[in-house]
Amino acid sequence: MSYDIDELEINPFYKALQSKYIDLYERAQEWCYSICVPQTESLDQRTINSDFVETHILRPSPYFKGQYMTTHSSSKKTVKMNDDGQVLITLQGFPEELSVKILSEELAYNKDYKQYKILILERPLNSKFQVTSAQREEKKTKELQTPKISVAECTAFLKSFSEFKTALEQLDKNIEYFCRHYMILPDYLDDARARLEDISAASLRKMSLCLRQPLASDIKFIEVLAGAIESYLMSLVYKKVFPVISQHLSKEDQTLLSKGQKLNRVKPEQIGVRREFSCPLPMAVVELANLGNLLTPREKLTCLKSTVDNITEGITQSIKGSRQEQLAGITTEEDEPCITSDDLIPILVMVIAQAKCCHLHSDLFYMEHFIWESMDKDRDDLSYCLVTFKAAVQYMMTTDFSHLEDKRKNDPQKEISIEDLMAATSVSESTSHTGRGSPRNNASAGRLERQLNRISGILEQNAQEMGAQRQQQNSKRQIQSIFTGRTTRLPPPEPLPTQRNSQNTGENNQLGDFLSALQDDDFDLAFGKQK
C-alpha cells in the first residue's frame, strides 16, 4: 500500500475508536496502552465490534517483559513482541498462533502529555476478523470501480499502479509545458479546455495500453481511471486556469457577492422560502463556504451535492422537531411537505448569501466547462445540483432586492460569522497541545478541513441553543461545552455568568455567552504525524 496517505485518516477501525468506541479509546489514552490498528485493506468493517476493539488494545504484561495482554475483562489473551520490535506473535487465548508484522509506529500524547503508541499492523491479531481471499478480491474490485473524488485519492490511485510510471512522468512533463508556455486568454478559454482534454485523453490511452486483463476490458474501471487522470491534471493547472476565469467573470462575482450581502439582512420568507422550510442550515452553509478551497471540478461538483444533501437533511430534522412539539411526539409522514425545485432555489439563495463565496459564478463556469468525463458529468444527481445552483445564481443576478425591508436590523445578534469562527478555531488550535505527535509539526493541509468540521458542530449547536432560548425565554441557562464526542476527557468549563451578572464586565458583554464558551474550550482533538 502507499504511505503517502496517512493510514489513520482513512482507517475504519481508527475512526470507530474516535466515535462509537470513544470510551475504550479514552481509557487506552489515559493508561497509555498500545493501540494496534490493522491496515485498511485487511479489514472487514462488519467485524469491527467491542471484541475486536479490546483485542487490539494492549497493556503491558505484569509477568513477562516484552509481552502484552488485551484489555478483555473476561478472558486473558496474550501477545509478545519479537526482539527487533517488528512482529507481534499471538500466544495464550488466541485460536491460533499468528505472526503479525508491524508496518509502522506512531507516538501519541494524552491530555497529561504522556506518550502512548499506535501500531499499524499488516492484519488483525485474530484471523476471524480478517477478510477472506474472496472478500479481499471483491473489496479490491469494488475499490477499483469506485470514483475517486479528492486530489489525494486520485494521486494515490494513479501511483498505486507501477505500470503507469512512464505514462505519469510524461503526463507531468505535458502539464509543466502547458503551465510554462501556454498563455490562457479570457476570450479563448474553450481553446485551453480543448488542449487540457487532449492531454488527458492521450494519458488515458497510454495507461490503458499498460493494463492487463481483466482491468483492460473493465469499462467501469476505465471510467474511474479517466476521472482520476482528469482530476490529477486539473489540480496541477488550477492556479493557471482559475485566475483567468475569475478575472473574466470578476464583475459577475462581485455583483453576486453584493446581492448576498443584501440578502443576509432579510428574512427567508421575503424571497419566497416557505415558512415551514425557513430554519437555520449551518451544515449546508459551512459545506458551501469550503467551495473556494477545492481544486478540481469534480471536487467542487461533489461539494454542491453535499450542500443540497445538508439542506434536505436540515429541513427534514427541523420539520420533525416542530411536529413532535406540536403533536406531542405523534408524527405522520403523509403530511410532511416535499421539497420541490421551486422550493429549493430560494433556499439555495439564502445559503449562498450566508456562505459568502467570493467566486461562485467563476466556480460554476469552471465546473461546467472543465469537466469532460461522462462518468460524473452525466450522473443525474450531480447534474441536477449544478443546474439548480445555476438557476439560483441566475435568480440572484436578475432580481432586484433593493425593495426588501430590512426586518432584522432591530433583532439582537444571535449568529456568529464564519470569519469569526475561523479566527476563533485558529487561535484555539494554536494553543492546543493534545493529540498525535507534536502540534507544531502537524500537516497544514488538513487544517482547514478540521476547522470546518469544528465550525459545523459549533453552528449546529448554536442553532439548537437558539431554539431552546425561544422556548424558555424566562429561564436562565448555564452553557456547557459546545463540543461532544471528544477523543480526550477534559474538565467542564467554569460556569459562565448570566446576562445580568456580566453587565459589570465590558468584555463579557462584547463577546456574549457563545464566544465566551469558545474561549473556554480547548478544541482538543488527537492528531499527529507518522514516525
Residue 82 has pLDDT above 70, yes or no: yes
Q: Give the residue-averaged pLDDT of 93-118.
A: 91
* DSSP-assigned letter for residue 371: -
Name the residue type at position 111. K
Pairing of strands 34-38, 57-60: antiparallel
Reduce the DSSP state of residue 453 to 3 states and report it: helix
Q: What is the mean pLDDT of the chain?
A: 77
Burial of 29 (0-12, 13-18, 19+ CB in 10 A): buried
Q: Which of 215-224, 430-439, 450-459 has the highest mean pLDDT?
A: 215-224
d(C-alpha 433, C-alpha 438), whole Å: 7
Counting other chains too, the contacts that 461-470 makes at CB distance below 8 Å and 24 or more residues apart are 462/282, 462/415, 462/416, 462/514, 463/279, 463/280, 463/282, 465/514, 466/280, 466/414, 467/321
Cell 506518550 sits at which residue? 115
* DSSP string across 488-502: S--PPPPPPP-TTGG
Q: Which of 81-85, 302-306, 511-515 has the highest mean pLDDT?
A: 302-306
C-alpha cell at 461: 449547536
Q: Give the residue-averaged pLDDT of 207-231.
A: 90
pLDDT for res 457: 62
Find the range with the poorest average confidence among 31-45, 241-255, 457-471, 509-523: 509-523
CA atoms within 13 A on the CB side of 98: 19
Candidates 257, 279, 259; CA nearest to 267 is: 279
Residue 486 has pLDDT above 70, yes or no: no
Greater confidence (452 vs 3) lies with 452
pLDDT for res 22: 93
The answer to whether 73 and 154 are in contact (CB under 8 A) is no
pLDDT single digits (tens) 122-151: 999 988 887 766 666 777 778 888 888 899
Gap between the terminal Cα atoms of the chain: 17
Candidates 279, 285, 243, 293; CA nearest to 260 is: 285
pLDDT band per the 50, 70, 90 thresholds, residue 411: very low
pLDDT for res 30: 94
In the chain, pLDDT over 90 holds for what percent of residues?
42
Greater confidence (285 vs 323) lies with 285
Greater confidence (503 vs 184) lies with 184
Dihedral in degrees, nearest 10, Cα atoms 133, 138, 144, 150? -100
Residue 187 has pLDDT above 80, yes or no: yes
Cα-only R_g, the chain: 27
Residue 337 has pLDDT above 80, yes or no: no
The answer to whether 303 and 288 are in contact (CB under 8 A) is yes
Candidates 506, 428, 432, 520; CA nearest to 478 is: 520
Buried b (16+ CB within 10 A) or exposed e, 274-290: eeebbbbbbbbbbbbbb
Distance from the Cα of residue 402 to its chain's centroid = 37
For residue 401, how many other CB atoms are within 10 A of its CB? 17
Buried b (16+ CB within 10 A) or exposed e, 367-385: beebbbbebbbeeeebeeb
Greater confidence (376 vs 157) lies with 157
Candidates 183, 189, 151; CA nearest to 370 is: 189
